[in-house]
Amino acid sequence: MSLTRTSIHRFRYIYRTISSPSSTSITTRFQFQRIITSHPIPKPFQFNSSYSSSSSSSSLKQDFIGDGDGAYPTGDFNFEPVTGFNKFTVKLKTLIALPWERVQHGSILKIVLRGQISDQLKSRFSKGLSLPQISDNFLKATYDPRVSGVYLHIDTLNCGWAKVEEIRRQILNFRKSGKFVVAYVPSCREKEYYIACACEEIYAPPSAYFSLFGLTVQAGFVRGLFDNLGIEPQVERIGKYKSAGDQLTRKTMTEDNREMLTTLLDNIYSNWLDKVSSARGKKREDIENFINEGVYQVDKLKEEGFISCILYDDEVMTKLKERLRVKTDKNLPVVDFRKYSGVRKWTVGVSGGKELIAVIRASGAIHRVESPLSAPSKSIIGEKFIEKIRRVRESKKFKAAIIRIDSPGGDALASDLMWREIRLLAASKPVIASMSDVAASGGYYMAMGAGAIVAESLTLTGSIGVVSGRFNLGKLYEKIGFNKELISRGKYAELHAAEQRSLRPHEAELFAKSAQNIYKQFRDKAAFSRSMTVDKMEEVAQGRVWTGKDAASHGLVDAIGGLSRAIAIAKLKANIPQDRQVTIVELSRPSPSLPEILSGLGNSLVGADETLKELLHDLTISDGVQARMDGIVFQKLEAYPSPNPILALMKDYLGSM
């Protein structure tokens, strides 16, 4: 898919917000690159990399930093029934709707939640689910008089907890309209059940797979494998919690990493228990005791009130027909997710206002430039992202901008260049960062250039640290009978070329100092951006990953919430009344590639495997210090693990690179 031509897609935003504050590859080497700022930063944002540890936070204070979560509007959805002339207008629009927008009155919107959920907008030919389109469909259905309710099929999901939280929020918002949402769960784990709990009723077939057994976190290590192969990894990581690289150099988990992962797991598990107990009207202890019993029988789940009824899919449909008073000899009118995605918001009366707010999405690993092997739809290309930022900055029609981030990081240089452009944009108009599943390391680097940062409570963020490394393949070369000789000029000329030997002392010293220099720049800019002293930032940096909730308590995040709250804060900073509708302009809506179009038409043999594509991309152009989050694998938080433990281990590590 090419992003050389970026179309602008507009959609309307009808949320009325409450103005009261919230109450509550493996590669053969990793070379380093210096982060270079070629031009001075404008005076309002001048940055001194030599901040002393005694610098006061007041000397770094910026006008646009908020005073905490409570200082911002909540962005909560407030349903307002369509009445009078507006009701007549909506009815007229639905009558004259385009053929593909026509929906029978009394229809059920059927949404199947399964597999990976992207934070990017998708073309109509793209496979998989898109969180923006899920949110749009729930919003349209809320006001669409032709839709009576939602039938939600929830199957095995492969996404983070922030997306799960947003879907749950959309369900609860939809229910404010008085319409119903029922869930059908043939296969259910913690994430799937977390969403289902937001529905009015939960159905499951008698043969359903339920595995509500708790959560685990795991880390795999390949040092022993490398020793057997004759590969010596040489890694320089800055930050005691920056465990990206430990999987290569160690055989066990460090105590610091164990501490960090334990805290993350405790936060996620505690949040799950709290939300589920509240939704099911049970005590938290009762939920935890039930989990510890290892119950898997569906009838036991029904008996304990964890599901509403044991029914097959056809029986649920019959029940819905009875609810909507559809005759038994008639079919229940159902509109599927893909068809309903073609219904315009205008058709159902969801209109926006005159003020425009731009949304720029940044999802996937960060790369500085695009290569023939890169997958633009699954990565952030720094050059292209900067083009969008500059377009918004130069345009007078946008009142504010939101940077929507779902990234574990990547190239440190690209992260810094994008940070600068976001800072320049923030000098001309309000910029809010909205975090999805993960905005860590390079992803956080981007976010800290915004005027305010909004994260979900279980967003994984922070990881302010860097890692750089190389492999000594000398012993492996001996085993396979390969030899390599170098002729060089310059003391450090062989630093990146001589993978057949270990680093010499002077090379190792330069290697370490270079990584330390980049970490210092990252940390100091984070301190400056968040109005902290360097010492204070060092306490929360060190490569540590935080949940959004903990990040907020440590000053790394300003507010907890989703995209709707980010929009509410953008309106506040742009002096737009909270009850006034705005038009959201999505930049970077993808155009479908030929393989996607053919695949969408049913040809499953077209297109390269994206995982291999990404691996080849990393093998060919990974040449800089990486600002990436550690390869954390939460069992039962992601897809089922690979049956091959070695493949699972390699996939885990590749995911962290």
Name the catalytic one among 122, 191, 242, 571.
242
Q: What residues form DSSP beta bridges with 157?
A: 115
pLDDT of res. 192: 97
Q: Is the pLDDT of residue 383 over 90?
A: yes
pLDDT of res. 377: 63
Q: CB–CB of 4/593 below 8 Å?
A: no
pLDDT of res. 25: 33
Q: Is the pLDDT of residue 416 over 80?
A: yes
Task: Please state which of the ranges 75-89, 460-474, 509-523, 621-635 shows the lowest mean pLDDT.
Answer: 621-635
Task: State the average pLDDT for the chain.
Answer: 82
Q: pLDDT category, 627, cuts 50, 70, 90?
A: low
Q: Mean per-residue pLDDT for 573-594?
A: 83
Which residues in 473-567 belong to E strands, given as ranges? 545-547, 559-560
Q: Mean per-residue pLDDT for 41-60?
A: 33
CA gap 126, 593 in Å, rounded: 9
Which residue bears the tokens 């008639």?
330
Q: Is the pLDDT of residue 609 over 50?
A: no
Q: pLDDT category, 434, cuts 50, 70, 90?
A: very high
The larger pLDDT score, comparing residue 398 to residue 242, is at 398
Q: Report pLDDT digits (tens) over 307-325.
A: 999 999 999 999 999 999 9
Contacts of 267 (CB under 8 A, 6+ apart): 458, 547, 549, 550
Strands 232-238 and 466-472: antiparallel
Which residue bears the tokens 């930063």?
41
Of 461, 456, 467, the closest CA to residue 540 belongs to 461
Distance of CA 504 to the CA centre of its chain: 41
Q: pLDDT category, 629, cuts 50, 70, 90?
A: low
Q: Report pLDDT digits (tens) over 66-117.
A: 446 668 999 999 999 988 998 999 999 988 888 999 999 999 999 999 999 9
Q: Report pLDDT digits (tens) over 222-243.
A: 999 999 999 999 998 888 998 8
pLDDT of res. 329: 86
Q: Which segment, 513-522, 558-567, 581-590, is predicted with the most confidence on average?
A: 558-567
Give yes or no: 415 in active site.
no
Name the catalytic one among 130, 363, 407, 441.
441
Q: Is the pLDDT of residue 173 over 60?
A: yes
pLDDT of res. 141: 97
Q: Mean per-residue pLDDT for 427-436?
A: 97
Which residues in 131-268 belong to E strands, given as ranges? 147-158, 180-184, 187-188, 201-204, 209-210, 216-218, 232-238
Q: pLDDT category, 248, cuts 50, 70, 90?
A: confident
Is residue 550 helix, strand or coil?
A: helix
CA gap 172, 618 in Å, rounded: 41
pLDDT of res. 603: 36
Q: CB–CB of 442/627 below 8 Å?
A: yes
Q: CB–CB of 197/172 below 8 Å?
A: no
Q: Is the pLDDT of residue 63 over 60?
A: no
Q: Which segment, 32-36, 194-198, 371-375, is predicted with the most confidence on average?
A: 194-198
Q: Is the pLDDT of residue 183 over 80?
A: yes
Percent of residues, the chain, with pLDDT higher than 90: 66
**pTM of the prediction?**
0.82
Q: pLDDT category, 644, cuts 50, 70, 90?
A: very low
Q: Is the pLDDT of residue 277 over 90?
A: yes
Dihedral sign (CA 272, 278, 279, 284)? positive
Give yes or no: 242 in active site.
yes
DSSP readout, 288-323? HHHHHTT---HHHHHHTTSSSEE--HHHHHHHHHHH
Task: Please state which of the ranges 57-66, 152-161, 293-302, 639-648 shows the lowest mean pLDDT.
Answer: 57-66
Question: Measured between alpha carbons, how far is residue 312 from residues 14, 155, 183, 185, 640 in Å?
Answer: 36, 14, 12, 10, 24
pLDDT of res. 122: 82
The larger pLDDT score, comparing residue 613 to residue 203, is at 203
pLDDT of res. 41: 34
The larger pLDDT score, comparing residue 464 to residue 5, is at 464
pLDDT of res. 448: 96
Q: CB–CB of 361/381 below 8 Å?
A: no
pLDDT of res. 589: 67
